[in-house]
Structure 1
């Protein structure tokens, strides 16, 4: 059996007619930059997330950058975030000359621990940027309460959680600005790079729309410094073809994730869903002892795995200047040594899932 870690081909075959028609419509009208599909997908994304504004951008990393720029983050500022994430989260803070201030994780959800948040706030704190890791939202009820008390904006890095919700509100609508990625392997993915920013704040939406097109409010008039952060029209077209079936795919992810957990809970630490949360399982991630040996055994059994993320940000060479050595964030460091992600996508059938589970049990035996 050939097992795919993420089966994008199966999804394409399922949606082929719609995807092809949407792409060919762009090829026919030829508006490859900021074509009509961009505005159309923005309207649909805003409606799905339950916010006033969705701003399509070129990728999830730039979504974070544009959000930070819209809030005026710059040199001398601090932005609080988690060390247990992909480097883009901390990278965009540093790129603006600000300092990432890390807060350790809650070891159950792997997300930033709100109990540790207030102690990290200083007069220089300009924003808080929690990550909704693996497909489950961070505790925004607690985080927003602390942020509101101190008058600090919150940016959700929802690159992995689009489609998830918290107390009935969708990822992207839970903070001052929500950001997501449409990288092909994400719960809602395009066929290249893509992303979006979400907000209910009219002024921030206006700023983000200007920033993504070189700080321009009208042709050749630039009130602010911006960048080239536009969402490609063809990628918008792919998203438009995928959005009608996205709710069904989210439901399939939830079902498959729950089934994995039921089958594996006796042999590994499986995901725990927080009260009021749903989970879209951008990654289905377990914890195991002797991870390298387990991964090798699974590879030999034909089961691909991945690790998200083995080295926390404070231990990355790019952040060595912060002087945060081993032991600075012990829970993030411990998770980085133990987490392992299994094949996960909405077209994973039960027979294949059973084969994966059997291989995991054998590898752990």
Structure 2
């Protein structure tokens, strides 16, 4: 007979028995609630004490942010997990801006940004700490072959005009009648684009906020004409077509017979190895049209990091990991692995086309 039926039948039970039944039910209920609370406490405890567990027993790190940093992070994660089989490292490429905000909001263990954290971001997330793991350079690439070579933009004004004067379809035309190796601003989008010595190109930019695009924007806005002083002017003013991530821009340029865009040097190397793109010079450096030019171009970009090349130093930038406050032991161990001088770590940076801090400090 169900309990609710006992209490509804006055003849079936005396007041004393009813009272005893209520006492038993109350005790049982209290015990059940206590068990639930103990289980809940144990579950919460396992989540909150994970950060203080020994690294060998920790189980997961989530890295989120820059698509530029993503390739080397994935390679590092793979090698790190082989050395730490109890650890799972997940890498997500979502852009530098997201890497900063995800770190500040504690949505990831380690953020990634291919640029310094902005003062405006630090004002919102003052506890963010930056850990530089390497560096990169941004290259202008194209699928344009002019007499066996690429285009050379003589100065910042030429690149600025290329992005500022695209039409609604992301197109621009370049007059190469004088010299394809010396493209000036005056030779971009002059005339109607129908001349025999005119190349009609499709210009590509990033479709999402990124450190790569911000590097180019800042370079053009700082050193370009007074018409473009907005550090985000590529996003705000250009009609260039958007593509997601470095990989997306590279693929778009490779697939477009007259495509042109910007990617990190590591992705430009990939395009050179595929014989699908050339690297266009700025200030005559570092023009690269084949794999034979990669070594010299790499040296030129490294010189640019120190301001010792004609290639603009402003087109280089750091690769950073981010943590919310000081790193936990698990976070620090992974960051230390990225900074190590070991062959395994160096292979990751070499394969991704970046420079490690060990290489830069040699």
**TM-score, normalized by the shorter chain, greater than 0.5:** no
- TM-score calculated relative to the size of structure 2: 0.25
Higher radius of gyration, 1 or 2: 2
- TM-score calculated relative to the size of structure 1: 0.25
